[in-house]
Amino acid sequence: MTESPEDEFSREEQAFRASFAEPEEFEPLDPAQFVRPSRRKLRWDRVLSAAAAIVVVAGVGFGFSQFAGRGVSATVAEGAPSAAASMTAQDKGELGGGVGQPAPHLPTPGLGSTASAWKLTSQVPLTRIEPATGWLDGRYYLIGGAGACGPSADCKSYRDGVAYDPSTDSWTSIAEPPVSLQGTTGVAFEGKLYFTRATDPTASTLVVYDPSTNSWASIAAPARFNGLVVAGDQLIGVGLGTRLGGDATDRRYDPASNTWTALPTNPFSPNQARSVVSIGDRLVLSAYTLSGETKYATFDLTTQTWTPVTNVTASGRMTAVGGSVVFQKDGSSMLDTYRVADGIGSGLAMDFSQDETDRLKASGLFAANGTVVGSRMVFYGHLLDPSDNSMVPLPDLPKAKLTDQIAIGSPNGLLVYRVTGVDNKAKATAYYLPVSP
């Protein structure tokens, strides 16, 4: 998984980032009453209704470039009502995936695992806006962030942090990092959590937490990174691109020798903004220009070779989910998937009613879009498995007027951390949803 650096961005960088950012769909600031969700039985007629509300187009070439929005097989015991929706399939021709593709087919309900109801956790000891987050060895982390202050106030930054263990329903304070962290996601590698922090417009620092000693370390990076990914047994620092103040070199980090090794040069211009995700021992690179053109390539860590991918015309934020790359756009209920092993892509389109969309926003599930849970992803109140496009509904979260909300995924669960109100009325709560593989 990748981690976005925090820093002040140039106008061009802001334009690039905006095309990938999560939408903020929160109601006006105000304290909210929280009620534990009641257990509800799964309605298979609703699950099948959701499946019928989706059209999938699959083939070797694909991509819905006209999408106007952004960028888990499970049986859920307490399902939310599925969307009553009408679907359309897009057939784009040679560059859009229409030529030689099979007819659109319907996904099926997932039948292989279970998720129970949301559980309100014990009292959260931190009330923070946009804390850094992570998951490692069964614990969910909230670190730093800013105080929940009003819109005209100068919100104070914090460095303290906590870890949540769902097996004991307990929160534990952890040591403070050497610098403040905010809005970033840690990468788990060899028993430690790695965060990147932009030191200046051309450099980054790795901030590393070791839970075995409850201590932090800082590691200087050779350039400004666009995050970190773990590919196979290697930790890779992703080059940001020269347009945005970094370079186009991806580097492998060796913790034993504290050294960086540059990977072979990728096939695209270094001044393009870059994003990288990992699937197994392969990297998937997206190189983006402000003119709107996006190119893709894969890198095999075993053979140390780049291969351009010419059949992908999808766009949006890339997320690695299982063996596939999922492309999302802001506010869109449509997405593309690309399966790295065989190069097969598919497009999935959902058209929710306004009532259903409002329900998802009110419950906070809409804001959890794109959170990865094992080999699945939260998508419009459902768990999506891109390997077979199966979807099942998640149970509803309690409605709340949110100041901020962050979802943290893990191999077997989902933690949602919420803040309502501001200043002396700010309140933090968290809900945990266990999901079996």
Domains and CATH numbers, the chain: 11-434 (2.120.10.60)
Contact 161, 145 (CB under 8 A): no
| Percent composition of the chain: helix, strand, coil (DSSP 3-state, to 5) | 10, 40, 50
Buried b (16+ CB within 10 A) or exposed e, 183-203: bbbbbbbeebbbbbbbbeeeb
pTM of full prediction above 0.85: no
Indicate if the pLDDT at residue 306 is higher than 60.
yes
Mean pLDDT of 239-253: 89
Contact 199, 21 (CB under 8 A): no
Indicate the range of 45-54, 189-198, 303-312, 353-362 predicted with least confidence. Answer: 45-54
pLDDT score recorded for residue 115: 56
Indicate the range of 42-51, 254-263, 279-288, 369-378 predicted with least confidence. Answer: 42-51
Buried b (16+ CB within 10 A) or exposed e, 420-429: bbbeeebbbb
Using 50, 70 and 90 to split pLDDT, how confident is the model at 213?
very high
Eight-state DSSP code of residue 166: T
**Containing H/E element for 409?**
strand 404-410
Mean pLDDT of 369-381: 94
Q: Name which of 181, 178, 183, 175 is nearest 212 in CA terms.
A: 175
Q: How many helices (H) and strands (E) does the chain have?
A: 3, 31
Tokens for 200, please give them. Answer: 């200046």
State pLDDT tens for residues 65-103: 322 222 222 323 333 333 333 232 233 322 233 222 333
Q: Which amino acid is at 168?
A: T
State pLDDT tens for residues 400-422: 889 999 999 999 999 999 999 99
pLDDT score recorded for residue 419: 96
The overall average pLDDT reported for the chain is 77
Mean pLDDT of 297-325: 92
pLDDT score recorded for residue 331: 76
